Structure 1
Amino acid sequence: MKNPISFWSKGVKEYLGFEFDNDNLKIAYLRSSALNREVVYFINKDISQFSSEEIISFIKSQLSKFKIRKAQVIYTISSHLVITRNIEVPSQDPKEIRDIINLQASRHTPYGREEIIVDFVNIGTYRQSYTRILLVIVNRDVVRKQYEILKQAGFEPDKVSFSSESVVKGLSYLLNLDREDNPVCIIHIDSSFTDFNIVLKNKTIFLRSLPLGIQHLSIDKQENYKQFVEEVKASLDVYKSEDIEAYPVRVLVTGIVEEVRDIADFLNSCLKVPTEVIPYLNYFSLSSEARENTSLTKICSFLGVMSSGLVYEALGVDLTPQEAKLKKLFEERSKEVIKTGILILAFFVVISGFFLGKVYLKDLFLKKLDKKFSQIHPQAEALEKEFSQIKVIKNYLSRRGYSLEVLAEIYKALPDEVRISELRFNRAGEITLKGTSSSMTAIFTFVEDLNKSNYFKEVETRYTTKRKEKDRDVTDFEIRGSFRKEKSL
């Protein structure tokens, strides 16, 4: 016997399974901690006389005490409510296979295409271009009704599976059936029906629902055992006739087996195949509260609803109504849009905070500078005043004697024929000379020599006027020019 489930996982996860079986409601609550995954609670209730509101009230009353926060909710459909067909599809492409199934599914059921929900199990490649498929079909109204009840109770399903897949994958995990190379037959006995499964590598490759359960097998055993064996033989014959896979090498009987443990020997003698009874509850870790309800396992099987939480991530078939899938997709995308908006807003807040921080620091720095400036400014003004005075003195000292140098330069360039009567200059650096010359040529020579001087530039004659003076001709003139750059300080 394998030890109760125990493995490492990150954080704490919660799984909540529901199964509507004829007139019964089964609930199983599993919790995965860092060390193990245990069944916290399970319950069965006869809801044949309940209204939808009463069912909702019952679900809430049973689960409110556990303060379930964020559980993965699985709605498991009983196998006897599901139609299964083994078919071959002329394609190996998953998208093409799904398209073909969507077109042809209604041919395998009395319902119209809009009245059913369809999914499938890919059994494997057959011949070169064909794929074997276990087609799974369920009435849309059956699913929708129970789905809405769970939704109104506050537990909208994350996945809608069917019981047989949960049982098969659960036992495959517990018993390591995926390591076997040959098919195994799993007979799952429930209250009013039995699932006949052929399993290979963790997949259901054949399924048939038998109209006999513990209610029949626990009374008049001799007669009902015979009928049960006949149903099993008939199922094996159908399986062989469809040439799906090899004949099963052993038979595992599970579900409600406390009162029918001897059925294994009966099947073994009739089928000539090794048969073993598997009390599934021994393979689960149960909380103290769950152990108080173990008597319920004698009237109905919780293997499907418990296994749905055990192998939640491995469940492949999803019979969730299309409108619910679209709504979830829309909600997920809306959440992504909101999340993106929040991230963008947060980004702008961070950027704004960064720039505001820089502005604040600069403002703080400027205030410090202002304070420092207010302390230094009077001293700076005093220094500037003293510097201006020093500059004036230095300028005066540097210019001292410059006027004499200018006069000497004028005298040096002055011809003998020329007399200067007036000399003026202003702050703009302009100089004006007026005088008289006995020769016009001397005036032009004087102007030319001044232009060659290092002290003057742009010297030119403004006018010349001839006149008589003591019986001789003289010329009055005016010359203007500018000083070249003065001495540097």
Structure 2
Amino acid sequence: MLNFKKFKLAPHAAGRDFVCLDTSGDNLKLAHLKVSSGKKQIVDLVSRNIHGSSEADISKVIKSLLQAMNIKNPYVMNVIPSPLAITRNIEVPSQNPNEIEEIVNLQASRLTPYAREDIIIDYLNVGTYRKSYSKLLLITVARNLIKRQLDILSGAGIKIERICFSAEAIASLIPQFLKQGLEGQVINILHIDSNFTDFIVALDSKLIFVRGIPIGAEHFLVSKEQYQQRFLEELKKTLEAYKTEDIYKSVQMIVLAGCIEKIKDLEPVLNGELHIPTTSTSYFKHIDASEEAKKTISSSEQMSFLNVISPLMASDQLKLNLIPEEIKFKKLLQEQSKDIVKSGILVMGIFILVCAILISKIYFKSVHLKALSTKYSEIHPEALKLENDSSRVKEVRNYLSYRGYSLIALDTLSGILPRNLVLTDIKFERQGKFSVRGVAESMSAVFSLIDDMGKTDCFKDVKSKYTTKRKEADKDVIDFEIVSLLKVKG
């Protein structure tokens, strides 16, 4: 089973356009971010009323906005607000990520009122429970809602890269605006938008609980006292629901965010009614935004852009991705195909380089061989002549080395010849071979001659070839032949 949790999206790249859209409500929201020198800046914020508009009309609006901003090939993210999602905190008997994912997929239809094929589901691991259990926050969205958003963006010629859950992005961003030293504290973020409020509980910038309260900035502006009381009642119920879930310790701080400029007096009311430290933060004061973007935020008293800004500013910390599995699978295959193509190109490049090196070596060697052959053909006749001359010189040297040496050998032999031995034949051969034949009165005379010859400076490798006894005039005689090599002094 493919682990889509490990599927990586493209990181922020310098100079590229990043866009986040919210097409789920009556108002289309668009945030445009650029990265330059490692800094993220919101350069454009736009809203358009799309109440009652068809998907094709919304696509045209988005396309025209991107063209007006001169945005080409943007990295596009879409957000799902909490009122359009079903959230549930559960516990599963495993801490292994693969096992947890399998359990969630198998139990999805039991945990929601929809069939598995009709929903997109993802989860956040909130923490451990009883050492072997994991606490999860499930986020479920109807598949047809996701399909509608994909169709709208496709109609605008946009390829969507990620579908975020706005509450997760807000939970990641808002704690960064607060003072330091909040590690380990449970923070309740009340993000007030036009017609609803996100009840977000965050721990160390991680979403652990979320609910929607159907009261927003528009309600407060219509009848402040009436809706303020209802808001307090809904808030108390939701805080009680969080305690009942027993996810973590109680809320230690409440932070108001979003459309709060006209309802800042809500802060002391919450302080007095809930007895929980309450503060507020104007998000546009903490982000790097163009003057035009800041003016858009200031003029939008009943609309919050925080849900489209936070996914862009905190994209590196987000875990959830509500894109359908088949699209994730397709993206994964595309990425793997790109890697395979890159590997193939690299291997082909190496192969071509090796072939080029081999061909160049063969070429240079062939050129060198041709040059040697040409030179050889020029000097070959001279070499043959020199070889013939050398052979003649050797013959002359051999002749000269043996010339007169026979006389020396005979003189040496006559000096060591025993008296009881007669030579009948003396033979000189080529290559310094020398042999004598004769008759001796005894075998000892033959061996004595062999020893004496070996001690001289004229003979070497002296040995008897044969010795034969016979009768001559009633007397025993020995016929013999001695062979040796002449020592030629060079």
Query: Same fold per TM (> 0.5)?
Result: yes
Q: Is the 8 A contact 2:21 2:308 kept in 1?
A: yes
Partner deviation per Cα, 1:86-132 (whole Å, 9 max, x = no partner): 23334444444433333333333210122222222333334554443
1:487 aligns with 2:458: no
1:215 aligns with 2:230: no
| Mapping 1:222-261, distance limit 5 Å | 222-261=225-264
Q: Which residue of 1 aligns with 2:18?
A: 15
Task: Report the CA distance shift for 1:432/1:106 in structure 2 as closer, same or farther (over 3 A).
Answer: closer
Give the counterpart of 2:349 among 342, 346, 350.
Answer: 346
Partner deviation per Cα, 1:149-172 (whole Å, 9 max, x = no partner): 445655434332211111111112
1:302 aligns with 2:311: no
* DSSP 3-state at the match of 2:23: strand
Q: Is the 8 A contact 1:43 1:296 kept in 2?
A: no
| Mapping 1:424-443, distance limit 5 Å | none
Q: Is the 8 A contact 1:30 1:40 kept in 2?
A: yes
Task: Report the CA distance shift for 1:303/1:423 in structure 2 as closer, same or farther (over 3 A).
Answer: same
Letter in 2 for 1:336: D
Q: Which residue of 1 aligns with 2:280?
A: 277
Deviation at 1:201, TM superposition (A): 2.1
TM-score, normalised to structure 2, is 0.76
Partner deviation per Cα, 1:189-211 (whole Å, 9 max, x = no partner): 22222211222222223211122
Q: Which residue of 1 aligns with 2:89?
A: 86
Q: Distance in 1 between matches of 2:229 and 2:253?
A: 19
* DSSP 3-state at the match of 1:119: strand
Q: Is the 8 A contact 1:161 1:319 kept in 2?
A: yes
Q: Which residue of 2 aligns with 1:124?
A: 127
Deviation at 1:335, TM superposition (A): 2.8
Instruction: Single out whichever of 358-367 and 132-141 deviates more from structure 2.
Output: 358-367
Letter in 2 for 1:338: V
Letter in 2 for 1:285: D
Partner deviation per Cα, 1:302-359 (whole Å, 9 max, x = no partner): 2121111111111122222221222222223333333333333333344434444544
Q: Which residue of 2 aligns with 1:322?
A: 325
Q: Is the 8 A contact 1:429 1:482 kept in 2?
A: no
Instruction: Single out whichever of 40-49 and 377-386 deviates more from structure 2.
Output: 377-386
Q: Distance in 2 between matches of 1:178 and 1:316?
A: 24
Deviation at 1:80, TM superposition (A): 0.8
- Please list every run of 5 or more consecutive structure 1 residues that lacks an aligned counterpart in the other structure: 1-8, 462-471, 473-478
Q: Is the 8 A contact 2:185 2:252 kept in 1?
A: yes
- Please list every run of 5 or more consecutive structure 2 residues that lacks an aligned counterpart in the other structure: 1-11, 467-472, 474-479
Task: Report the CA distance shift for 1:121/1:423 in structure 2 as closer, same or farther (over 3 A).
Answer: closer
Q: Is the 8 A contact 1:44 1:296 kept in 2?
A: no
Q: Which residue of 1 aligns with 2:146?
A: 143
Give the counterpart of 1:203 among 188, 201, 206.
Answer: 206
Deviation at 1:57, TM superposition (A): 4.2
* DSSP 3-state at the match of 1:285: coil
Q: Is the 8 A contact 1:75 1:147 kept in 2?
A: no
Q: Which residue of 1 aligns with 2:172?
A: 169
Q: Is the 8 A contact 1:88 1:133 kept in 2?
A: yes
Q: Which residue of 2 aligns with 1:101?
A: 104
Q: Distance in 2 between matches of 1:458 and 1:153?
A: 113
* RMSD value, Cα: 4.5
Q: Which residue of 2 aligns with 1:392?
A: 395
Q: Is the 8 A contact 2:19 2:74 kept in 1?
A: no
Q: Which residue of 1 aligns with 2:9?
A: none
Q: Distance in 1 between matches of 2:221 and 2:252?
A: 27
Deviation at 1:84, TM superposition (A): 0.9
Q: Distance in 2 between matches of 1:417 and 1:90?
A: 119
Letter in 1 for 2:236: K
Q: Distance in 2 between matches of 1:11 and 1:379?
A: 74
Q: Distance in 1 between matches of 2:132 and 2:429?
A: 112
Q: Which residue of 1 aligns with 2:476?
A: none
Instruction: Single out whichever of 210-219 and 400-409 deviates more from structure 2.
Output: 400-409
* DSSP 3-state at the match of 2:43: strand
Q: Which residue of 2 aligns with 1:465?
A: none
Q: Distance in 2 between matches of 1:176 and 1:375?
A: 93
Q: Distance in 2 between matches of 1:293 and 1:75?
A: 20
Q: Is the 8 A contact 2:433 2:486 kept in 1?
A: no
Q: Distance in 2 between matches of 1:12 and 1:174?
A: 26
Q: Is the 8 A contact 1:10 1:34 kept in 2?
A: no
Task: Report the CA distance shift for 1:427/1:55 in structure 2 as closer, same or farther (over 3 A).
Answer: farther
Give the counterpart of 1:133 among 133, 136, 144.
Answer: 136
Task: Report the CA distance shift for 1:42/1:364 in structure 2 as closer, same or farther (over 3 A).
Answer: farther
Letter in 1 for 2:139: V
Q: Distance in 1 between matches of 2:414 and 2:183?
A: 129
Q: Distance in 1 between matches of 2:118 and 2:271?
A: 42
TM-score, normalised to structure 1, is 0.76
Q: Which residue of 2 aligns with 1:156?
A: 159
Deviation at 1:37, TM superposition (A): 1.2
1:311 aligns with 2:314: yes
Q: Is the 8 A contact 2:297 2:305 kept in 1?
A: no
Q: Distance in 2 between matches of 1:338 and 1:296?
A: 50
